[in-house]
Amino acid sequence: MFKLGDIIGMKKPHACGENRWEVIRMGADIKVKCLGCGHIVMIPRAEFNKKFKKVLTQADQVKSENEQHYLRKDQLMPPNIMKRNEE
């Protein structure tokens, strides 16, 4: 379906007119970033699945130098997971 870093298309375009979004967080909610204006939106997964249309570009095929607002995987913040022995 889709994974972290993919560029996806939604059924309706963003207010800026762009319909390309980058998936920057996955979990119970999906966080996406508009590649037109850089606006970040967090959407519940059930709602996201209704609005999702298709994957336009897979994460490993994105040319980040051509995308002004694209975040590479090394720029994404890793999940904050504490190990039990660190508590």
Report the CATH number at residue 27. Answer: 2.40.10
Specify if 1 maps to a domain. Answer: yes
Specify if 57 maps to a domain. Answer: yes
Domain count, the chain: 1
Specify if 48 maps to a domain. Answer: yes
Give strand pairing partners of 55.
8
Specify if 9 maps to a domain. Answer: yes
pLDDT score, position 68: 58
Give strand pairing partners of 32.
23, 41
Task: Give the pLDDT confidence of 10-20 residue by residue, as tens digits.
Answer: 999 999 889 99
pLDDT score, position 54: 93
Range of the domain at 46: 1-61
Task: Give the pLDDT confidence of 36-77 residue by residue, as tens digits.
Answer: 888 999 999 999 999 999 998 787 776 665 665 566 666 565
In whole angstroms, give the CA distance from residue 79 to residue 64. Answer: 22
Task: Tell me which of 63 and 7 has the higher pLDDT.
Answer: 7
In whole angstroms, give the CA distance from residue 31 to residue 44. Answer: 9
Predicted TM-score (pTM) above 0.95: no
Alpha-helical runs (H) found in the chain = 45-51
In whole angstroms, give the CA distance from residue 21 to residue 18. Answer: 8
